[in-house]
Amino acid sequence: MARRADVQAGPRTAGEDEHSTYPPSPYDPDPDPVRGRGHARRGGWSGGGGRWLVWAGRAILWAVILVIVVNGVRAPIERMTQGAEPSTVSTTPSGSGFPEGAAAAFANQFASAYLNFDGSKPDDRAERLKPFLPVGAETQFGWNGFGRMSAGTFQFDGIELIDAQNAVVTVFAQSGAQRLRLSVPIYYADGRFVVSGQPALLPGGAPADLPQPPAPERDDVTESELRPQLEGFFKAYAAGDATQLQRYVVQGVTLDGFQGKVTLAELNTVIAPPGGTTREVTAVVVWALAGPTPAPTATSADPAAQEGSLEQSYRLSMEKQGDNWYVKDIRGASRSTE
């Protein structure tokens, strides 16, 4: 009796019994994932149409892996590059707790004692310096005891914070016709200051080069109209007479005058640009200053006993109402007019 072959001789057809006694082929490309290998899938196509999902998944996986690798390589390179570049962060500590305002006042007072001396009174300077110097410091703090210097108009310039207890404060000063700066190293502890080292004199800087302004456009007719009106206004402005001022200012505007501290010596220049009924007018006036009462021994030839004067430039907002011009506002001129 012949024995049935162990290997299926050909492909299964849809009409074969699913419980066939033939063993499953090891080469069956589409086994049933639920019932096990060798069972035909019913109701679907057994081809390779779903493979695009597999390839798409693989592509996404490789993209994720590539991003991880690139970031892992780039991070240490960026850290090394940043470490090689100069830092732009300020070295001045912020919020250090150093009392800057009090330090500025301390440095101003020290500069006054330090930059004023007279060789005929060396002990005076030494006494003035005592509250600022550390114990055991040389009493004249670098001055050799000769000569004379007078300085004043001390103003805070800036402060360089070193740490919570140390700083360098710079102040402006003027000695005669020379502007100076004095840098003062200061130490702070327990609410107190002390000069911690020799200060340094620095130049205060020369004046800036001022360019020549272009000649302004002028309306000669309007300037002639304005001159008598402005003369009356500046006389009332000097006197501080509110009633008189109302004759020259726009209704509703109130201006404070000088209350007789000055008088109008001369209305020097009036410059009015072309325009309509509202103009920005420049006026140059000479104020006569009320000087002190002359001393009994003063003579008429004494310059200090004579009346002084100052030339001033003003910018006025003017408004024409009817035939007259009225002042709406007065302030300092931005540039010299001549």
Q: What is the pLDDT of residues 15-39, one digit of tens each?
A: 444 444 444 444 444 444 444 444 4
pLDDT exceeds 60 at position 178: yes
Given this model, what pLDDT does residue 61 score?
78
Given this model, what pLDDT does residue 21 score?
44
| Residue 311 falls inside a structural domain | yes
| Residue 83 falls inside a structural domain | no
| Residue 209 falls inside a structural domain | no
Residues 137 and 188 in one domain: yes
In which band, very low, low, confident or very high, does the pLDDT at 59 lie, cut at 50, 70 and 90?
confident
How far from 235 is each of 23, 171, 226, 248, CA to CA, in Å?
128, 41, 14, 11
| Residue 18 falls inside a structural domain | no
80-117 pLDDT, tens digit per residue, is 544 444 333 333 444 568 999 999 999 999 999 999 99
In which band, very low, low, confident or very high, does the pLDDT at 157 lie, cut at 50, 70 and 90?
very high
Choice between 55 and 50, residue whose per-residue pLDDT is larger: 55
Decide which of 170, 203, 236 is a domain's last residue: 203
Residues 164 and 199 in one domain: yes
Q: Which residues make Cβ contacts (< 8 Å) with residue 101, sequence separation at least 6?
A: none
Domain coverage including residue 259: 220-291+307-332
pLDDT exceeds 80 at position 2: no
Token digits of residue 149: 């210097």
Of 123-132, 148-157, 304-313, the range with the lowest mean pLDDT is 304-313
Residue among 214, 165, 204 nearest 183 (CA): 204
Residues 255 and 163 in one domain: no
212-268 pLDDT, tens digit per residue, is 888 889 999 999 999 999 999 999 999 998 999 999 999 999 999 999 999 999 999
pLDDT exceeds 50 at position 174: yes
pLDDT exceeds 90 at position 69: no
- Of the chain, the percentage scoring pLDDT greater than 70 comes to 72
- What is the rounded CA–CA span in Å between residue 22 and residue 7? 8
| Residue 171 falls inside a structural domain | yes
Given this model, what pLDDT does residue 304 score?
72
Residues 175 and 240 in one domain: no
| Residue 29 falls inside a structural domain | no
CATH classification at residue 138: 3.10.450.540
Tell me the average pLDDT of the chain: 80
Q: Which residues make Cβ contacts (< 8 Å) with residue 157, sequence separation at least 6?
A: 170, 171, 172, 181
| Residue 317 falls inside a structural domain | yes
| pTM (two decimals) | 0.60
Number of independent structural domains in the chain: 2
269-304 pLDDT, tens digit per residue, is 999 999 999 999 999 999 998 765 555 665 667 777
Residues 224 and 326 in one domain: yes
| Residue 28 falls inside a structural domain | no
Sheet holding 278-289, edge to edge: 262-271, 278-289, 308-321, 324-332
Given this model, what pLDDT does residue 305 score?
72
For 292, other C-beta atoms within 10 Å of its C-beta total 7
